[in-house]
């Protein structure tokens, strides 16, 4: 069987088998992130202001163009999908909503072509149980990765088709959306999820999926994902597959999240007080253990900021040093040399303090 | 005749000799009939590929070892045709983004879409998904990684991605958050010695423990390299002598000579000599950043304690420059010149 050419035959076979079991997908293969997406607008966790405005627009059937921005995993995509489902119902949503994201080809030409074709088709049969306002929705996910040219092209398109479509731009950084486009939209900022709400949500999913969690495991999961609910969910799912029925504890979560054990970082900090040789050894050990340098840097930074033994000036100097090392790492410089540099310089700064 | 490294590569998770806990975890994962996307990372020669191959075998059985090379043509948006060859079996496919150069986004996208659209024909295997293994994932361009984000979620039902890289630093966080991170640490010196002993036993040779230890240390805990060195030593002289010199790769010895030359005297004439040597190394296609790293680490361990931070700083500075710059020799030379200057100044100050 050739890897590629078998496509057609297989697809038919699949179509048949799909028809056989009524299109039911394998439950286990669905990521929990998808499975537990909020089904309607009232399910959306936190983000009260946004939800309030959108509920109003559901009642009045009047919706402006939308621009959602905020850190990853705060429910931007989920909110707009939930809104669409509330508006059109689960059946009509397919014909009424066009979702484009960075995984799809998205030059100017494609946006123009796809949006034009989509807007041209008359709105289909409305589901009687829903409000179904007479326009469609185009969701441009990850809009900040669109080129400036493509965004400029979008300006005219948005106005031209505004009688039949509403656009919803979803992005992380509002500064990367060009001004003319941003001014055409109602802007909504999604804030990071508060810790306790995230914990409740993750707990809910863990219970629904029957994952046993020890005390502190869920809290650790939420802490490591830094307000990103999607990340927390993905980690939970991965972790549950790994433990297979056994209870999940905080240490295991740390290992899965790629977090470096605090002891290792403290060891680095301790090496600053000693001679250059111990710094060299510490760096060697880090590199052999395979810990990524960027992660080391981030965790070391957290430690330094709250360090009592260092003065403000020293902290400032170390922060500057870390910034330059981080930049070098982003440019693809060698991790070992950069870490060694960081350690030796930092130890010089730290020792100048005590002297 | 195959190299020992290939010949004695363990094929199943049970036969892996170190990181037992990790093997256990992987076995559980593979046995559960479902697998999340994986991101396997760790230093070179720690056994990342071996573990991936073993996981594939655990999932699909011996069929995953029947590899073949297939070729395919991709078309870029600018209508250029790219011909890329892959290694694949019936169940998985391996790609190396460096083959595709700047068009890696197209290759990754097309490939994954195609793999995802062709479902596994229900043969003996009960698995519903195929696997795409991406080697050297840190070489993937940002574009390609962004393209992976949504694709990984969308096609989760019938394909899984295994990314393999030396560090997670260059993998964007949205992709990281979609994967299960698997860290493979380098084996300790004892573990390397242990594995060498096993290989020697299988080859029917005996290896004196001091030599084994020396080889393991010389390999810098890189198992792949240690086995190559063992084989090289075997070819050179057998039966082994206890004090047999360990054969370092020629370029490394040569590069260390450069460092020694810079330590020896700090004059423009010496700098000119070193330039010639640097050209010699570069002409043999040794990556320039590797050359700088070996020289710098050697220098740092040789110089005075007080001078080390400064040398490290300059090494890091010039290595960074080397990465963003174009012409390697300029930066290598600049580093040597800078080193000579600070070394001499320090020597004069202490006199």
What ranges do the domains of chain B cover? 4-183, 189-236, 250-350
User: Taking 60 as the threshold, does the pLDDT of residue B188 lie above it?
Assistant: yes
- Say which of B25, B35, B169 has its CB closest to residue A293: B169
Task: Check CB contact of A329 with chain B, cutoff 8 Å.
Answer: yes
Mutation site for B-interface testing, chosen from A9, A140, A337 by largest number of B Cβ within 10 Å: A337
Please judge whether B183 and A291 are an interchain contact, meaning their C-beta atoms are less than 8 angstroms apart: yes
Distance CA(A74)–CA(A236), nearest Å, equals: 17
Write down the pLDDT at residue A23: 37
Distance CA(B309)–CA(B312), nearest Å, equals: 5
User: Taking 90 as the threshold, does the pLDDT of residue B145 lie above it?
Assistant: no
Looking at residues B281-286, what average pLDDT do you find? 88
- A304 or A241: which leads in pLDDT: A304
Q: For residue A254, what is the nearest residue in chain B, using CA coordinates?
A: B181
Distance CA(B161)–CA(B37), nearest Å, equals: 5
- Say which of B118, B122, B146 has its CB closest to residue A102: B146
Write down the pLDDT at residue A319: 93
Domain boundaries for CATH 1.10.8.60 within chain A: 195-257
β-sheet bridge partners, residue A167:
A138
Quick one: chain B helix, strand, coil %, rounded to 5? 60, 10, 30
Looking at residues A23-44, what average pLDDT do you find? 70
Write down the pLDDT at residue B25: 82
Q: Which residue is listed with tokens 């730290």? A: A350
CATH code that applies to domain B250-350: 1.20.272.10
Distance CA(A205)–CA(A165), nearest Å, equals: 35
Write down the pLDDT at residue B226: 87
End-to-end CA distance of chain B: 59
Indicate if ipTM > 0.90: no
Looking at residues B122-146, what average pLDDT do you find? 78
CATH code that applies to domain A262-354: 1.20.272.10
The residues in A 156-185 lying below 8 A from B, measured between CB atoms, are none
Structure tokens at A110: 């494609």
Q: How confident is residue A293, by pLDDT bands cut at 50, 70 and 90?
A: confident
Distance CA(A49)–CA(A137), nearest Å, equals: 21
Looking at residues B261-289, what average pLDDT do you find? 90
Mutation site for B-interface testing, chosen from A340, A345, A352 by largest number of B Cβ within 10 Å: A340
Structure tokens at B253: 């010895």
Q: For residue B172, what is the nearest residue in chain A, using CA coordinates?
A: A330
Dihedral over Cα of A52, A57, A63, A64: its sign: negative
Write down the pLDDT at residue B20: 82
> Mean pLDDT score of chain A, rounded to an integer?
80
Q: For residue A27, what is the nearest residue in chain B, using CA coordinates?
A: B157
| Residues A338 and A286: beta-carbon distance below 8 Å | no
Taking domain A195-257, whether its CATH number is 1.10.8.60 is answered by yes
The alpha-carbon gap from B108 to the nearest alpha carbon of chain A, in Å, equals 11
The residues in A 188-217 lying below 8 A from B, measured between CB atoms, are none
Architecture of domain B4-183: 3-Layer(aba) Sandwich (3.40)
**Residues B4-51: tens digit of each pLDDT:** 888 888 888 888 888 888 888 888 888 776 788 889 988 888 889 899
Domain boundaries for CATH 3.40.50.300 within chain A: 2-189
Distance CA(B118)–CA(A240), nearest Å, equals: 28
Write down the pLDDT at residue A55: 86
Write down the pLDDT at residue A8: 41
Lowest mean pLDDT among A62-66, A114-118, A177-181: A114-118
Give the total residue count for chain A: 355
| Residues A343 and A304: beta-carbon distance below 8 Å | no
Task: Match domain A2-189 to its CATH number in 3.40.50.720, 3.40.30.10, 3.40.50.300, 1.10.443.10.
Answer: 3.40.50.300
Q: How confident is residue A105, by pLDDT bands cut at 50, 70 and 90?
A: low
Looking at residues B51-72, what average pLDDT do you find? 86
Q: For residue A246, what is the nearest residue in chain B, using CA coordinates?
A: B28
Do the domains spanning B4-183 and B250-350 agree at the CATH topology level? no
Write down the pLDDT at residue B286: 86
Write down the pLDDT at residue B276: 92
Contacts 24+ apart (CB under 8 A), B261-270: B262/B295, B262/B299, B262/B336, B262/B339, B262/B340, B262/B343, B263/B299, B263/B302, B263/B303, B263/B343, B266/B340, B266/B341, B266/B343, B266/B344, B270/B340
Write down the pLDDT at residue B344: 92
Task: Check CB contact of B301 with chain A, cutoff 8 Å.
Answer: yes
User: Taking 60 as the threshold, does the pLDDT of residue A14 lie above it?
Assistant: no
- Say which of B43, B129, B149 has its CB closest to residue A288: B43
The residues in A 230-259 lying below 8 A from B, measured between CB atoms, are 230-231, 234-235, 237-238, 241-242, 244, 255-258
User: Taking 90 as the threshold, does the pLDDT of residue B332 lie above it?
Assistant: yes
Write down the pLDDT at residue A29: 61
Distance CA(B160)–CA(B133), nearest Å, equals: 9
Residues of chain A in contact with residue B296, where contact means CB-CB under 8 angstroms, are 337
Distance CA(B255)–CA(B260), nearest Å, equals: 9
Residues of chain B in contact with residue A332, where contact means CB-CB under 8 angstroms, are 170, 323-324
The pair phi, psi for residue A260, each rounded to 5°, is: -80, 135
Write down the pLDDT at residue A4: 45
Residues of chain B in contact with residue A288, where contact means CB-CB under 8 angstroms, are 43, 185-186, 221
Most confident range, picked from A15-29, A93-107, A322-336, B68-82: A322-336
């Amino acid at each position: 069987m050739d890897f590629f050419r078998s496509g057609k035959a297989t697809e038919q076979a699949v179509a048949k088998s799909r028809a056989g079991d009524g299109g039911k997908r394998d439950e286990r293969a669905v990521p929990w992130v998808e499975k537990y997406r909020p089904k309607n607008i009232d399910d959306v966790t936190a983000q009260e202001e946004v939800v309030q405005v959108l509920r109003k627009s559901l009642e009045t059937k009047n919706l402006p163009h939308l621009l959602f921005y905020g850190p990853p995993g705060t429910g931007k995509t989920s909110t707009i999908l939930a809104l669409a489902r509330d508006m059109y119902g689960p059946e009509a949503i397919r014909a009424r909503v066009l979702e484009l994201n960075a995984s799809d080809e998205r030059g100017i030409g494609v946006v123009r072509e796809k949006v034009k074709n989509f807007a041209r088709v008359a709105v289909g049969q409305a589901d009687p149980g829903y409000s179904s306002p007479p326009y469609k929705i185009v969701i441009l996910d990850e809009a900040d990765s669109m080129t400036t040219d493509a965004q400029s092209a979008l300006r005219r398109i948005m106005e031209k088709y505004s009688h039949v479509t509403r656009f919803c731009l979803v992005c992380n950084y509002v500064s990367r959306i060009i001004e003319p486009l941003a001014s055409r939209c109602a802007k909504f900022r999604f804030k990071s999820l508060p810790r306790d709400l995230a914990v409740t949500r993750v707990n809910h999913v863990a219970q629904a999926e029957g994952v046993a969690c020890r005390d502190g495991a869920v809290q650790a999961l939420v802490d490591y994902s830094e307000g990103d609910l999607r990340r927390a969910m993905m980690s939970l799912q991965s972790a549950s597959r790994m433990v297979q029925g056994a209870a999940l504890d905080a240490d295991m979560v740390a290992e899965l999240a790629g977090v470096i054990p605090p002891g290792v970082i403290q060891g680095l900090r301790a090496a600053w007080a000693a001679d250059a040789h111990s710094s060299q050894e510490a760096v060697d050990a880090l590199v052999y253990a395979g810990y990524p340098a960027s992660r080391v840097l981030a965790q070391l930074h957290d430690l330094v900021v709250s360090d009592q033994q260092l003065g403000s000036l020293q902290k400032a100097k170390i922060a500057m040093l870390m910034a330059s090392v981080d930049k070098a790492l982003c440019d693809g410089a060698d991790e070992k040399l950069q870490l060694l540099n960081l350690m030796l310089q930092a130890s010089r700064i730290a020792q100048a303090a005590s002297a | 005749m195959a190299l020992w490294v290939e010949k004695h590569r363990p094929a199943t998770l049970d036969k892996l000799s170190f990181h037992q806990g990790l093997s256990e975890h992987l076995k559980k994962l593979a046995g559960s009939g479902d697998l999340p996307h994986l991101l396997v990372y760790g230093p070179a020669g720690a056994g990342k590929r071996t573990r991936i191959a073993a996981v594939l075998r655990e999932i699909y059985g011996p069929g995953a070892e029947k590899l073949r090379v297939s070729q395919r043509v991709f078309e870029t948006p600018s209508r250029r045709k790219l011909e890329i060859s892959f290694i694949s079996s019936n169940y998985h496919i391996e790609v190396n983004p460096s083959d595709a150069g700047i068009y890696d986004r197209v290759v990754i996208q097309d490939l994954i879409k195609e793999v995802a659209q062709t479902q596994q024909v229900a043969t003996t295997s009960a698995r519903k998904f195929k696997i795409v293994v991406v080697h050297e994932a840190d070489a993937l361009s940002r574009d390609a990684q962004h393209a992976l984000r949504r694709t990984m979620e969308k096609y989760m039902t019938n394909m899984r991605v295994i990314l393999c890289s030396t560090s997670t630093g260059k993998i964007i966080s949205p992709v990281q958050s979609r994967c299960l991170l698997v860290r493979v640490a380098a084996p300790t010196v004892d573990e390397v010695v242990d594995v060498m002993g096993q290989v020697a036993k299988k080859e029917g040779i005996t290896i004196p423990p001091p030599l084994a230890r020396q080889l393991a240390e010389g390999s810098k805990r890189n198992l792949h390299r240690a086995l190559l060195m063992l084989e090289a030593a075997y070819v050179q002289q057998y039966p082994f002598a206890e004090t047999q010199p360990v054969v370092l790769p020629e370029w490394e010895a040569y590069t260390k000579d450069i460092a020694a030359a810079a330590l020896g005297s700090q004059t423009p004439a010496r700098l000119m000599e070193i330039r010639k040597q640097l050209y010699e190394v570069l002409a043999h296609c040794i990556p320039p950043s590797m050359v700088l790293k070996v020289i710098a680490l050697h220098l740092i361990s040789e110089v005075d304690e007080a001078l080390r931070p400064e040398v490290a700083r300059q090494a890091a500075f010039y290595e960074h420059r080397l990465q963003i710059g174009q012409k390697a020799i300029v930066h290598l030379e600049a580093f040597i010149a800078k080193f000579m200057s600070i070394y001499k100044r320090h020597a004069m100050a202490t006199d």
